[in-house]
């Protein structure tokens, strides 16, 4: 399939990438900081002991001596490391901006695309990926400036972090007194650390929303939302430029949505009946020993990486289907929706079955007894009492499974193809939202071409759809669990 | 309404009527019962059948990767080729034409072959990759220059496929990809004991290659190890810390509810969305290098955090309150109680969760495509910022290659991947069983 | 079983009337005191033993249940009343570890015989449980469930009629006739229990087993159900487990006292409550035990 993929990021790039800072420098700095921290610990501990006249006087200290050491060490290390991390997050951009600012004015008026090309040259020159003779004079000058700024930046980072570490460490060390409530302070710092860690989940969500939304908004400035959501034509490869908006219709995502739904639908057609009946059999009929063996075996399917399913769909099931189709006189595309859907369904079986199993076993035995007591057979009890009772939970589980199917990437990337066909025929090739995200973003990206931005718009749609499915499903499942608590 | 008006005008009592009607319905109902049960059995059989089919087809296409065809050639490290001016300078030797040695050895093996085109066909029996092995041998020990030895060198992938029976001898010459002439040579070599399948060490020691017979998984395995190293280093402490806060300290309020909802939702967000986040934030905003295990590790950290937090919270919940009360009763502060008493008891459960999270991260590929870990990379990565790829992405790349011999490599790489997953999951199971405690 | 049983058994054994079966021996050499047989039995149990795995829950119980009678089972918690009840319609089959031996016949046919069909059996021997367990369906569907699965109603009007009659006889009709399509789980506890009774009688069984049907109910709901039981006696044999001595006295004609898996004493309710013959029964009834 995509032959442009591999060479795109392959050979031409120098070892270690192009925007790399010398990693040794930073790691040495971190090492020095760690040594400083260890020294600070010893110093803090020693001072606390010295203040009360040695180990014998330790009972006059508010906290154990180790806590004084820890307090000193924490103040020495944490702020310095934070500053270092911040510095490194932004120095690349700042240095680049400064280099651009120093370049001749005719460079500065270039469009962003052309500018990034020039900057690439500069960076390659710095990294030694291209020989100096090949570069123009202004690029050489810029490269020199770049190098100079970079080493300056490194020096400044080292100076700043070390002085922060030393300064704060020394300050705390000086403040140590027997009455200092070192343990409480250390514990407070620990607690703040814990809170920060637990908020990472929020920051991740916010990060996802902002990054996806931001790029999507840029995309919607070029391509109207309505065209994206309702357009029937998807051909981003003939990507239009920002100044050529005229060629409309290239970013209509409807074929992707239908393709995604077709494959997800096929997957659910496999996964829901098989998963449900397997769950019913294992939960209601199977002997305990059979269940103990079969259940984990089925769950093996959930532990297999999706890329393996992709391989399976593309290279084993796909050709098999095509042969079968030939034999039956049907034209089956080699990258058919059917192959991807079937294999995705297999992947989702354990997901459906273990959730349904949970839900079925949560149905109280008293309901079964009530039904048996009236003379119902086992299947009548299951079909008419147990299953309806578990239905809300099972629906929640199926919703989660659908969200899984919609967001699944590797199977469709490998087996579903790239042609944005607006079709409901599972024997044809269709493409999906995730496939297109991968296709648009793998390879060299310019962050301002609508082609790249379109991937983020697709990502936004994907995120919103799966998020709402998840929220509804989790809500339904929780309500269901409460019911039989 | 009060008395059995519902029965027809017979003398039957309601109970007798029930008996009769139930009797009548039994056959039909038991048939339905059997049918229903058969559906269940069929579903279970289908599920197990899929597992069996998946594994058997991967194993049957992949197990041959552990062997590779090698040619035994009499290599003459001719000084005039390797080191014409006798300087023994590694620079000079390193840039010498080692393929000439292999060609010479082949010519010696088949002295009767003449003519340029025949010779060119003959040379194609050996892999391009053999020369790198020779160079390494000479660079390791320059005294080899001028000596001779009999050496097993890599055969071409077509020869390998033929040896493994993947190419059928019976096919007509033009579709077989191997000419009758070559077939005759191969048969002669096999008869002489100079062509055989041996253990495929290079598959486990080399990086990627365009030539299937030279391609190995070690590059990808190293990439995976580096990436998982970053993930474990970040996700485990952060996940445990978050779990401790939520389980032990957090007050029940809106804010902690928000965190909870976020964690549960993140666990179900498609992994590719994390890739978009990584691309926009780590690469675009922070300017970290593409294709680097560092960025891959960061993205996978965000992805596995929910799993680890959820598992760690479950482990903390499993520690009985009596132990906490005992510790607090002895005058420990809450932090001390957790650090000295609760954490050690919850650690096995947390580790199990971490291993399962790592296993998921090891199999993940979609988000890594976004941050450029799909490059064609020959070198083995050694640092966190070296360009690298990971095992599942290697599978993806090879699965896309047109050469038939890559099919076997792909399945082989999958086997290696599944092997790692098996080890990790088995460790988790053992850990759980060993430390499972009933209070 | 600390009291001197041998002496008592001998004494009471002499009072047994002619023609009655000899009292059965229990595993510990005890015999059931009183008349275990009746003249018009629906269900006849002989030497019933139930094991849950290794644990024996019921030992050698023999008892007859007559047509149109209410028989109460009393005894301390865990003595095997529910277990015995569940033997009668083979609901113990659903517990994998349970094993039942001995003979139980319904109208002369062995319930545990391979030819006896459980579906048929349970349609004839209905059961009401200790905790109301309406299905998560509408009130109507709850009552219609049995007739539907057994095919007792030819068409919708017939089904409507069965539902209405059953609800009326369970004394619930007036309260639910306007909300037949609301979920049965939305009713109050007492209403739910009467719904379960209606559900059971909708099938028109021959025997109704009731396992502590009033334990979750307030006195008013209890009274209504007791009235109902009294009325149902016209058509059914009813076997009721209860922890309330007063209730047993009010609704039943005969009473059986169980103790740690043994059936200690059976007799007319009047006799059991006024003149218990076994020391254990007396202790239990007078509140000295259990
Ligand atoms: N499913 C089961 N598995 C194992 N043992 C059981 C089971 N059900 C009941 N038992 C045991 O059998 C004995 C009799 O139980 P049963 O439920 O019949 O008592 P009961 O007389 O109904 O008590 P209660 O008045 O509390 O309902 C008890 O010791 C109980 O522990
Ligand atoms: Mg009971």
How much distance in Å is there from the Cα of B197 to the middle of ligand 2? Answer: 73
Residue B6 pairs in a beta bridge with: none
Q: Crossing angle, helix C189-201 and helix C219-232, to 10 degrees?
A: 10
Residue numbers in B near C170 (CB within 8 A): none
C33 to each of A172, B8, B369, C53, C215, how far by Cα in Å? Answer: 88, 46, 83, 29, 28
Average pLDDT for A126-146: 75
Pairing of strands C262-268, C254-259: antiparallel
The whole-model pTM stands at 0.83
Our CA-based measurement puts residue C165 at a distance from the nearest CA of chain B, in whole angstroms, of 6
| Cα–Cα distance, C139 to A57 (Å, whole number) | 79
CB neighbours of B196 closer than 8 A, spacing ≥ 6? Answer: B69, B70, B72, B163, B190
Cβ of A194 and B242 within 8 Å?
yes
Query: If you ran DSSP here, which 8-state letter would residue A325 be given?
Result: H
| A284-288, A334-338, A479-483, range with greatest mean pLDDT | A284-288
Average pLDDT for C194-200: 92
Q: Which ligand is nearest to the CA of C75?
A: 1
Helix, coil or strand: residue A9: helix
CB neighbours of C12 closer than 8 A, spacing ≥ 6? Answer: C33, C34, C277, C278
Pairing of strands B67-76, B148-154: antiparallel
Cβ of C135 and A288 within 8 Å?
no
Q: Which atom of ligand 1 lies nearest, measured to the CA of C80?
A: 18
B111 to each of B108, B119, B124, how far by Cα in Å? Answer: 5, 10, 16
Q: Could you write out the DSSP letters of every residue in B399-415? A: HT---THHHHHHHHHHH
Cβ of B289 and A314 within 8 Å?
no
CB neighbours of A34 closer than 8 A, spacing ≥ 6? Answer: A77
| Cα–Cα distance, A336 to A414 (Å, whole number) | 11
Q: Which ligand is nearest to the CA of C99?
A: 1
Average pLDDT for B369-386: 85
Measured between CB atoms, does A384 come within 8 Å of chain C? Answer: yes
Measured between CB atoms, does C164 come within 8 Å of chain B? Answer: yes
Helix, coil or strand: residue C98: strand
Query: What confidence score (pLDDT) does residue C2 get?
Result: 39
H or E element: which one contains C105?
strand C98-106
Residue numbers in A near B278 (CB within 8 A): none
Q: Could you write out the DSSP letters of every residue in B346-385? A: HHHHHHHHHHHHHHHHHH--HHHHHTTTTS---SPP-STT
Q: Could you write out the DSSP letters of every residue in B49-78? A: HHHHHHHHHHHHHHGGGGEEEEEEEEEE--
Domains and CATH numbers, chain B: 66-199 (no CATH), 218-435 (1.10.3720.10)
pLDDT digits (tens, 9 = 90+) for B320-344: 888 888 888 887 888 888 888 888 8
Our CA-based measurement puts residue B414 at a distance from the nearest CA of chain A, in whole angstroms, of 7
Which residue in B1, B2, B18 is closest to C152 by CB distance?
Answer: B18
Query: What confidence score (pLDDT) does residue C70 get?
Result: 94
How much distance in Å is there from the Cα of C156 to the middle of ligand 1? Answer: 41
Query: What confidence score (pLDDT) does residue B436 get?
Result: 65
Query: What confidence score (pLDDT) does residue A383 get?
Result: 93
| Cα–Cα distance, A208 to B325 (Å, whole number) | 41
pLDDT digits (tens, 9 = 90+) for B387-413: 899 999 999 999 888 887 888 889 999
A93: closest chain B residue by CA: B287
A383: closest chain C residue by CA: C149
For the record, the structure tokens of A62 come out as: 């508010």
Q: Phi, psi (5° rounding) for residue A279?
A: -65, -45
Query: If you ran DSSP here, which 8-state letter would residue C41 be given?
Result: E
Q: Crossing angle, helix B343-363 and helix B293-317, to 10 degrees?
A: 140
Residue nearest to atom 19 of ligand 1 (CA): C78
For residues A71 and B177, the model is more confident at A71
pLDDT(C14) > 50: no
Residue nearest to atom 31 of ligand 1 (CA): C78
Query: What confidence score (pLDDT) does residue C21 get?
Result: 38
Residue nearest to atom 5 of ligand 1 (CA): C52
| Cα–Cα distance, C248 to A293 (Å, whole number) | 49
Which residue in B1, B5, B22 is closest to C123 by CB distance?
Answer: B22
pLDDT(A148) > 80: yes
Pairing of strands C55-66, C237-241: unpaired
For residues A244 and A127, the model is more confident at A127
Measured between CB atoms, does C205 come within 8 Å of chain B? Answer: yes
Residue nearest to atom 22 of ligand 1 (CA): C82
Q: Which chains touch C (3 or more CB pairs under 8 A)?
A: A, B
- Could you tell me the sign of the dihedral formed by the alpha carbons of A412, A416, A421, A423, in that order? negative
Name the CA dihedral angle for A274, A276, A279, A284, rounded to a multiple of 10 degrees.
-120
With cut-offs at 50, 70 and 90, classify the pLDDT of residue A448: low
Which residue in B44, B309, B383 is closest to A278 by CB distance?
Answer: B44
How much distance in Å is there from the Cα of C203 to the middle of ligand 1? Answer: 28
Pairing of strands C98-106, C109-110: antiparallel
Contact B377, A9 (CB under 8 A): no
Helix, coil or strand: residue C12: helix
CA neighbor of C84 nearest in space, from C262, C285, C226, C208: C262
Q: Which atom of ligand 1 lies nearest, measured to the CA of C76?
A: 25
Least confident stretch, A39-53, A194-208, A226-240, C215-229: A226-240
Residue nearest to atom 2 of ligand 1 (CA): C52
Which residue in A370, A375, A384 is closest to C119 by CB distance?
Answer: A375
C96-129 as b/e: b if 16+ CB within 10 A: eebebebebbbeeeebbeeeebbbbbbbbbbbbb
Our CA-based measurement puts residue C11 at a distance from the nearest CA of chain A, in whole angstroms, of 41
If you count residue pairs, one on B and one on C, with CB atoms under 8 Å apart, how many are there? 45
Measured between CB atoms, does C21 come within 8 Å of chain B? Answer: no
Average pLDDT, chain B: 86
How much distance in Å is there from the Cα of C57 to the middle of ligand 1? Answer: 7
| Cα–Cα distance, C283 to C123 (Å, whole number) | 38
Instruction: Choose the residue to mutate in C83, C85, C239, C263 for probing ligand 1, maximizing ligand atoms within 8 Å of C-beta.
Output: C83
Helix, coil or strand: residue B3: coil
Residue numbers in A near B227 (CB within 8 A): none
* Burial class for A323, CB neighbours closer than 10 Å (0-12, 13-18, 19+): exposed
CATH number of A250-484: 1.10.3720.10
C93: closest chain A residue by CA: A372
B16 to each of A4, B13, B20, C155, how far by Cα in Å? Answer: 80, 5, 6, 19
Residue C56 pairs in a beta bridge with: C51
Q: What lines the ligand 1 site, CB under 6 Å? A: C 52, 55, 57, 77-83, 95, 97
Helix, coil or strand: residue C15: coil
Contact A331, A250 (CB under 8 A): no
Least confident stretch, A32-46, A322-336, B352-366, C70-84: A322-336
How much distance in Å is there from the Cα of A225 to the middle of ligand 2? Answer: 66
CA neighbor of B30 nearest in space, from C213, A376, A398: A376
Query: What confidence score (pLDDT) does residue A444 get?
Result: 61
Residue nearest to atom 12 of ligand 1 (CA): C57
Cβ of A193 and B241 within 8 Å?
yes
Contact B120, B34 (CB under 8 A): no
Alpha helices per DSSP H over B245-342: 254-266, 271-278, 293-317, 321-329, 334-337
Task: Measure the N-to-C terminal CA separation of chain A; round to a whole number of Å.
Answer: 52
With cut-offs at 50, 70 and 90, classify the pLDDT of residue C27: very low
pLDDT digits (tens, 9 = 90+) for A236-249: 765 444 444 444 44
Residue nearest to atom 11 of ligand 1 (CA): C57
Q: Phi, psi (5° rounding) for residue A245?
A: -55, -15
Give counts: helices (H), strands (E), chain A.
19, 0
What percent of chain B clears pLDDT 90, i.e. is strictly above it?
A: 30
B325 Cα distance to chain centroid? 45
Q: Which chains touch A (3 or more CB pairs under 8 A)?
A: B, C
Domain boundaries, chain A: 15-180, 181-222, 250-484
Residue numbers in A near C150 (CB within 8 A): 375
Say what the ipTM of the complex is: 0.87
Residue numbers in B near A211 (CB within 8 A): 276-277, 280-281
pLDDT(B184) > 90: no
Which residue in C122, C123, C129 is closest to A366 by CB distance?
Answer: C129
* Burial class for A217, CB neighbours closer than 10 Å (0-12, 13-18, 19+): middle
Average pLDDT, chain A: 83
| A175-184, A364-373, B159-168, range with greatest mean pLDDT | A364-373
Which residue in C117, C149, C165 is closest to B6 by CB distance?
Answer: C165
Name the CA dihedral angle for C133, C135, C138, C143, rounded to a multiple of 10 degrees.
-80
Cβ of B25 and C117 within 8 Å?
no
Average pLDDT for C52-59: 91
What percent of chain B clears pLDDT 70, i.e. is strictly above it?
A: 97
pLDDT(C24) > 50: no
| Cα–Cα distance, B437 to B425 (Å, whole number) | 20
Cβ of B40 and A11 within 8 Å?
no
pLDDT(C15) > 50: no
């Amino acid at each position: 399939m995509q032959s442009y993929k591999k060479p795109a990021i392959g050979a031409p790039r120098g070892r270690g990438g192009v925007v790399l800072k010398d990693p040794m420098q930073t790691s040495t700095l971190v090492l020095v900081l760690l040594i400083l921290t260890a020294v600070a610990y010893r110093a803090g501990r020693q001072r606390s002991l010295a203040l009360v006249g040695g180990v014998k006087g330790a009972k006059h200290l508010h906290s154990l001596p180790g806590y004084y050491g820890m307090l000193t060490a924490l103040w020495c290390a944490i702020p310095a490391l934070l500053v270092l991390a911040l510095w490194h997050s932004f120095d690349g951009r700042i240095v680049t901006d400064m280099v651009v600012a120093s370049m001749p004015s005719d460079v500065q008026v270039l469009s962003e695309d052309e500018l990034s090309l020039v900057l690439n040259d500069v960076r390659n020159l710095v990294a030694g990926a291209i020989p100096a003779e090949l570069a123009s004079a202004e690029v050489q000058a810029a490269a020199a400036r770049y190098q100079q700024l970079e080493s300056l930046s490194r020096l400044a980072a080292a100076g700043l972090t070390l002085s922060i570490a030393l300064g704060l460490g020394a300050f705390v060390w000086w403040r140590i007194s027997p009455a200092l409530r070192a343990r409480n302070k250390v514990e407070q710092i620990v607690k703040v650390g814990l809170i920060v860690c637990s908020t990472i989940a929020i920051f991740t969500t916010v990060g996802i929303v902002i990054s996806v939304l931001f790029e999507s908004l840029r995309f919607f400035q070029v391509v109207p939302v309505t065209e994206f959501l309702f357009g029937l034509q998807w051909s981003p490869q003939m990507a239009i430029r920002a100044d050529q908006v005229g060629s409309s219709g290239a970013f209509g995502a409807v074929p992707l949505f239908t393709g995604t739904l077709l494959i997800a639908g096929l997957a659910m057609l496999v996964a829901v009946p098989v998963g449900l009946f397997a769950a019913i059999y294992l939960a209601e009929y199977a002997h305990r020993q059979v269940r103990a063996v079969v259940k984990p075996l089925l769950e093996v399917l959930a532990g297999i990486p999706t890329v393996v399913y992709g391989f399976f769909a593309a290279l084993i099931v796909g050709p098999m289907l095509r042969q079968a189709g030939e034999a039956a006189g049907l034209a089956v595309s080699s990258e058919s929706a059917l192959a991807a859907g079937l294999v995705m369904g297999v992947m989702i079986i354990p997901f459906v079955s273990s959730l349904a199993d949970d839900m079925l076993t949560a149905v109280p035995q008293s309901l079964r007894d009530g039904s048996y007591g009236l003379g119902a057979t086992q299947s009548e009890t299951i079909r008419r009492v147990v299953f309806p009772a578990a239905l809300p939970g099972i629906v929640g589980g199926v919703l989660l499974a659908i969200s899984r199917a919609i967001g699944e990437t590797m199977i469709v990337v490998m087996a579903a193809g790239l042609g944005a066909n607006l079709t409901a025929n599972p024997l044809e090739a269709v493409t999906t939202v995730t496939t297109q995200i991968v296709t648009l973003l793998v390879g060299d990206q310019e962050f301002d071409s609508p082609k790249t931005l379109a991937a983020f718009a697709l990502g936004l749609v994907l995120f919103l759809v799966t998020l709402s499915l998840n929220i509804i499903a989790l809500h339904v499942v929780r309500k269901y669990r409460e019911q039989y608590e | 309404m009060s008395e059995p008006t519902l029965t027809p005008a017979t003398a039957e009592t309601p109970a007798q009527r029930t008996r009769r009607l139930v009797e009548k319905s039994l056959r039909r109902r038991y048939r339905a019962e059997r049918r229903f049960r058969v559906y269940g059995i069929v579903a279970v059989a289908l599920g197990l059948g899929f597992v069996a089919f998946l594994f058997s087809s991967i194993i049957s296409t992949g197990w041959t990767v552990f062997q590779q065809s090698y040619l035994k050639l009499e290599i003459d490290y001719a000084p005039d080729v390797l080191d014409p001016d006798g300087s023994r300078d590694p620079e000079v030797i390193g840039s010498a034409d080692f393929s000439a040695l292999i060609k010479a050895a082949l010519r010696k093996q088949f002295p009767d072959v003449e003519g340029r085109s025949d010779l060119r066909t003959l040379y194609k029996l050996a892999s391009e990759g053999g020369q790198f092995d020779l160079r390494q041998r000479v660079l390791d020990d320059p005294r080899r220059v001028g000596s001779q030895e009999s050496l097993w060198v890599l055969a071409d992938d077509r020869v390998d496929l033929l040896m493994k029976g993947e190419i059928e001898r019976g096919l007509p010459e033009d579709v077989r990809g191997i000419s009758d002439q070559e077939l005759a040579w191969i048969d002669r070599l096999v008869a002489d004991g100079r062509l055989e399948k041996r253990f495929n060490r290079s598959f486990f020691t080399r990086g990627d290659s365009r030539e299937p017979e030279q391609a190995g998984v070690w590059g990808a395995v190293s990439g995976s190890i580096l990436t998982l190293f970053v993930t474990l280093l970040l996700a485990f402490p952060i996940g445990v810390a978050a779990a401790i806060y939520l389980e032990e300290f957090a007050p029940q309020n809106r804010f902690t509810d928000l965190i909870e909802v976020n964690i549960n939702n993140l666990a179900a967000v498609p992994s590719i969305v994390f890739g978009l986040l990584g691309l926009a934030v780590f690469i675009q905003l922070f300017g970290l290098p593409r294709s680097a295990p560092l960025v891959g590790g960061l993205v996978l950290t965000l992805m596995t955090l929910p799993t680890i937090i959820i598992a760690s919270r479950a482990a903390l919940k499993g520690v009985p309150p009596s132990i906490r009360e005992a510790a607090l009763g002895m005058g420990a502060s809450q932090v001390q109680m957790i650090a000295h008493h609760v954490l050690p008891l919850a650690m096995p459960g947390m580790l199990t969760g971490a291993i399962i999270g790592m296993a998921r991260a090891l199999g993940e590929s979609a988000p890594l495509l976004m941050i450029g870990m799909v490059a064609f990379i020959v070198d083995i990565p050694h640092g966190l910022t070296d360009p690298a790829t990971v095992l599942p992405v290697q599978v993806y790349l090879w699965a896309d290659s047109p050469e038939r011999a890559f099919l076997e490599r792909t399945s082989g790489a999958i086997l290696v991947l599944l092997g790692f997953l098996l080890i990790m999951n088995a460790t988790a199971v053992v850990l759980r069983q060993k430390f499972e405690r009933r209070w | 079983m600390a009291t001197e049983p041998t002496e008592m058994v001998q004494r009471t054994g002499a009072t047994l009337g002619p023609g009655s079966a000899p009292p059965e021996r229990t595993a510990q050499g005890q015999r059931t005191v009183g008349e275990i047989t009746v003249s018009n039995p629906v269900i006849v149990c002989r030497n019933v033993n139930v094991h849950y795995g290794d644990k024996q829950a019921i030992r050698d119980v023999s008892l007859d249940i007559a047509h149109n009678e209410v028989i109460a089972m009393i005894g301390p918690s865990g003595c095997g009343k529910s277990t015995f009840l569940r033997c009668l319609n083979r609901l113990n089959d659903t517990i994998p570890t349970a094993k039942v031996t001995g003979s139980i016949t319904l109208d002369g046919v062995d319930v545990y015989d391979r030819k006896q069909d459980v579906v048929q059996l349970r349609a004839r021997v209905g059961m009401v449980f200790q905790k109301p367990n309406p299905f998560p369906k509408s009130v109507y569907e709850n009552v219609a469930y049995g007739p539907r699965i057994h095919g007792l109603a030819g068409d919708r009007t017939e089904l409507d009629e069965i539902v209405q009659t059953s609800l009326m006889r369970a004394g619930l009709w007036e309260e639910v006739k306007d909300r037949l399509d609301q979920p049965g789980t939305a009713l109050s506890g007492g209403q739910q229990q009467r719904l379960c009774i209606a559900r059971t009688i909708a099938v028109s069984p021959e025997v109704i087993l009731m396992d502590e049907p009033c334990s979750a109910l307030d006195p008013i709901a209890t009274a209504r159900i007791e009235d109902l039981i009294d009325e149902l006696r016209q058509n059914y044999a009813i076997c009721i487990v209860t922890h309330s001595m007063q209730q047993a006295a009010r609704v039943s004609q005969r009473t059986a006292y169980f103790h740690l898996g043994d059936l200690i004493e059976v007799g007319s309710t009047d006799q059991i409550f006024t003149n218990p013959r076994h020391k254990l029964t007396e202790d239990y009834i007078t509140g000295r035990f259990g």
